[in-house]
A and B are shown apart, each in its own frame.
Chain A
């Protein structure tokens, strides 16, 4: 299963954190920064798998019990880098590494469709939609949907998705906060 989904930008500021277990805020932050240090030091040509960050690293002997091919320990950190953002999935060995990469791809494509040319700013101002999108794809660490169209449809059913033009922290009707920061498409 998937243990956590993280999105942060090139300078390590989190844009989305979703842990499928309950963790203390402090621990979450430490994990994020550890992963960021790992990921930031990699050349762009490096492969998409990270060694386990120190927080997650357990005794190597326990990780490799030959009798059981899988266990509950998170053992796989997969990431993908898009423009200014890093997308990170932490998962157990039951997930397929390459499939996870595709999953990230689907996630990004779904966002791209929802926001029409998604960029980091969209995610900041509409992070609720971001969560909703993720909620359509992964529930409690189990992947429930990988089809792009269905994900997008599911999010749209929940309410209109705002474009940057109408930015507001709310990102949805009814909250009454339409910030109107006046940012146009030129932001890319």
Chain B
């Protein structure tokens, strides 16, 4: 057996390296049952490490475990206690429960605390066990004379239980409070605070009581961990909210923030007891910094103003060498931005992106830098012109950033800026500039966009840009949003789009392609096409769009190109070729020829979508080309097809953003009956179709249906989501700043220069023109923009809710601020259109939130059920478990109920079996006519014991209605038994009384 134990020990070691040892499970069992402690220990260890849920020999171990739990030796008892949590199943839990409970009052504190922990795990798989164990555990907790480590263990368990059903633990609050105040054990204090944090929402009075000791702890404790947890508890327990307004509330809020700030700024805590402090010191500091940021992140949602006061330290963390800290700071940054610090934060991040690839690494710098920061650093220098302050020295402390981190930054910047429909942005030209810079900074990504789109089912129409997936697409999406929503800067946006699309510029097409940024081209092309009227260089755009290289783009992008080409072409025609001359004729035919040349190869493109669109367009262009050639010079106007027909195809309503939920709010027309059969004759028609081929005329009809051109999208209600595949154009490089970092000052200067230069250039739209359209309310746009005879009112309607609730650029508070800042223009930010509905609940939210919540919740729930995390211990059984035994039966889970029933069934069976044996014995006794007294007493004693104990236990532990149902008949017979037996004892076994007993038994058989 020694040999075997040693071999097993080696096996365990090998198992750790990944070698399967499930084949040895029986041997494990053998070693477990060794009488020698040390061998036994090896066996138990092997069980912990190697048993899996499907290990079958476990059933055989039940008795062994029972025996060891009741062993007189303390070390032997703790073996199964430590092992049980790993291997327990509900049936094992059930059979061991009765053995474990007495261990709660074992003389050895070591055993007691381990039993508590083991019982907790038992309760997770078999919630009923908690019902019987809880009173004892509670006693342990309440007992003031109890060993402190046992109390700590109990607190741990209570804390674990606590967050699932906090209400049940409110009664313990006074005792826990005492423990917190004079406990002295930091670990325990941390746990208690955590528990209180879940209790306070249920019992607001607790907050008042907790405040003084917590404040005291925060002020005095030398242990960083306790300090942190106190603050955390204050945050999570809603104490900040609970005391809002009161003097203490403000006090503790500022105290917390102050301490957290200290944790970030100050060097690590000198008082913290660490043996290897000289090595660990640095790490601890970063760790503390990290958790402080974590805490900040929790506050930020409720108290953004507190956080923005700490902006300086947080911004320094963004430059921390540790990426985890940066990420936290980044999240925090995204949470704390407001209209004032927006520009600062973004510029800081841009700096980081700019510097990242070239900077050298210096690990220590972050710390010294952080320590040197003046706490009084600004929080009001947010004017675009004076934003240089924080950019002083990041040059040497940035490290080479991982690509994922970079894309996270980009996404965060975009999130920050687009928050609340751009309510934080005061200068959209600046934002567009940022976007353009971002495009250049996107790290090369692993997968290219086409794959991305194909993986999403290949349908362009329904795939809105996957925001998180590809930074390029995200930027493109932002650019498009700006172009759509902010009509003032549309010209700028189009210009930017042109520069991106351009085949000649440095930052344009080719650079994008090499970086895998095709995703953005889709959006850019659409902008260029849709807003070609705002463009100053349509020719350039067309040049880029029909560039031969574009043919090799991914299908999605080509589709967008294909839509943009005719739009740009049309615009050129309608704007500039109104007076028809030979010069223009040549030019026109040249342009059309180029487009045809571009389209011809695409007509055989492998992608069906591209093929279809290009064939359509190709035909149109051929007709146009014919028209141009045949059109005589004698006319004043160009060919009607070009000047009238084509523009009508490609222009129409102004497009406005529509909320994702708007579609569903369009009221159903009254006469629409979705339940009505489409065709009452359908079965017959189907039958006919089965019987023979279609009639010829029908076939023609079908062909017509499929081959006819789709109706151009003119007056259809504009829905943003369907847009990305429209068209593009280009211009020369928008901004020449290749390498130098354009900071705001330089940018401003450059821009004014540009304006000056372009003032007299007829190809640029002047500054004044730009601002003239500023305040057009977009109702009017909607009405006036379409000259066609479309009756707007006939569209089934829909009062447009222009989102008054969302703070707009026109909001009163914005107005006052605007005056403060020197150059801040008025921007109209178009809100998502939505429909005010009768249903107030739905109509209130103008954003996607309703949709997502409604849609995802059930799904998510189902999803959660299916996919559980790996290491997760499922405790959902406890969630619905009440500790108040009486009256809780109604809310039992099905599983629990079943378990209880099973348990009762086994008990009942055992009872029946026992009774049967007794009957047998009784009848034997009678057969022996005059049984000896000795035999009689023996039987009686046995009976008494057996009857009393199990029945009593049964009711104590499993006192629920189901038990009664099952027990009913059995208990009757047992009572009938019990009475005569007791009598028998008193009356010294008169045969007359013994007889009914027998009869009774016979009956029940």
Contact = CB atoms under 8 A, between A and B. Distances in A.
Interface of A: 1, 3-4, 13-29, 31, 43-51, 55-56, 58-59, 61-62, 68-70, 72-74, 80-82, 90, 94, 96-99, 101-103, 105, 109, 127-128, 131-132, 135, 139-147, 150, 154, 157-159, 169-170, 172-177
A51 B82 CA distance: 30
A3 B872 contact: yes
B114 A139 contact: yes
A159 B116 CA distance: 24
A47 B120 contact: no
A95 B89 CA distance: 25
Given A47-B322, A96-B228, 14 more contacts: A18-B48, A20-B85, A24-B52, A48-B283, A56-B871, A98-B229, A135-B78, A139-B85, A139-B114, A139-B118, A140-B118, A145-B149, A157-B110, A175-B39
Nearest to A8: B16
Interface stretch (B6-14, B373-381, B941-949): B6-14
Interface stretch (B152-160, B450-458, B675-683, B741-749): B152-160
B18 A176 contact: no
Contacts of B116: 142, 144
Contacts of B42: 128, 175
User: Which A-B residue pairs are the 7 nearest by beta carbons?
Assistant: A140-B85, A98-B225, A139-B117, A3-B871, A140-B121, A47-B290, A47-B286
Contacts of B860: 59, 61-62
Contact of A56 (B5, B286, B870): B870
B6 A141 contact: no
Contacts of B236: 69
Given A46-B286, A47-B325, A49-B324, A170 B9 contact: yes
Nearest to B227: A98
B175 interface: no
B190 interface: yes
A14 B16 contact: yes
Contact of B322 (A26, A45, A72, A169): A45
A1, A44, A98, A174 pick with most chain B CB within 10 angstroms = A98
Contacts of B321: 43, 45-46
Given A55-B870, A72-B875, A105-B275, A142 B153 contact: yes
B363 to A, nearest CB: 5
A68, A81, A146, A169 pick with most chain B CB within 10 angstroms = A146
A43 B160 CA distance: 34
B2 A99 contact: no
B121 A25 contact: no
Contact of A105 (B15, B18, B82, B274): B274
A79 to B, nearest CB: 10
Nearest to A27: B870
Contact of A140 (B84, B864, B874): B84
A141 B157 CA distance: 10
Interface of B: 2, 5-6, 9-10, 12-13, 15-21, 36-39, 41-42, 45, 48-49, 51-53, 74-75, 78, 81-82, 84-87, 110, 113-114, 116-118, 120-121, 149, 152-153, 156-157, 159-160, 163, 185-187, 190, 194, 197-198, 224-225, 228-229, 232, 236, 274-276, 280, 282-284, 286-291, 294, 321-325, 363-364, 856, 860, 863-864, 867, 869-876
Nearest to B124: A140
Nearest to B286: A47
Nearest to A65: B860
A94 to B, nearest CB: 6
Given A26-B18, A140-B120, A144-B113, A59 B163 contact: no
A19 B873 CA distance: 11
Contact of B9 (A4, A24, A128, A132): A128
B149 A109 contact: no
Contact of B291 (A3, A97, A173, A174): A97
Contacts of B276: 82
A69 B276 CA distance: 34
Contacts of A50: 324
Contact of A173 (B38, B121, B322): B38
Nearest to A135: B82
Contacts of A31: 870
A144 B13 contact: no
Contact of A175 (B38, B156, B283, B288): B38
B36 A142 contact: no
Nearest to A102: B225
Nearest to B364: A45
Given A99-B187, A140-B121, A176-B6, A159 B37 contact: yes
B872 A47 contact: no
Contacts of A70: 163, 198
Contacts of A147: 149
A51 B810 CA distance: 42
B870 A157 contact: no
Given A99-B229, A175-B6, A58 B869 contact: yes
6 contacts: A21-B872, A22-B86, A45-B322, A59-B860, A140-B86, A158-B41
A131 to B, nearest CB: 6
B156 A142 contact: yes
A98 B619 CA distance: 71
Contacts of A94: 159-160, 163, 194
B324 A46 contact: yes
B628 to A, nearest CB: 56
Contact of A25 (B15, B84, B152, B286): B15
A92 to B, nearest CB: 8
A45 B6 contact: no
A55 B153 CA distance: 30
A82 to B, nearest CB: 7
B153 A96 contact: no
A153 B310 CA distance: 47
Contacts of B120: 140, 142
Contacts of A28: 18
A72 B874 contact: yes
Given A139-B82, A142-B117, A62 B863 contact: yes
B670 to A, nearest CB: 39
Contacts of B228: 96-98
A146 to B, nearest CB: 4
Contact of B873 (A21, A68, A109): A21
A118 to B, nearest CB: 12
Given A49-B290, A146-B187, A1 B160 contact: yes
A150 B283 contact: no
A143 B290 contact: no
A10 B95 CA distance: 44
A178 to B, nearest CB: 11
B61 to A, nearest CB: 15
A31 B39 CA distance: 30
B38 A45 contact: no
A1, A15, A147 pick with most chain B CB within 10 angstroms = A1
Given A48-B283, A48-B287, A101-B225, A176 B2 contact: yes
Contact of B871 (A23, A109, A128, A143): A23
Nearest to B293: A47
A24 B228 CA distance: 36
A21 B274 CA distance: 31
A128 B45 contact: yes
B36 to A, nearest CB: 6
A49 B51 CA distance: 30
A169 to B, nearest CB: 6
Contact of B194 (A15, A96, A158): A96
Nearest to A103: B187
A98 B224 contact: yes
A159 B149 contact: no
Contacts of A154: 110
A51 B364 CA distance: 22
A74 B874 CA distance: 11
B9, B81, B159, B274 pick with most chain A CB within 10 angstroms = B9
A105 B280 CA distance: 11
Contacts of A20: 85-86, 871, 873
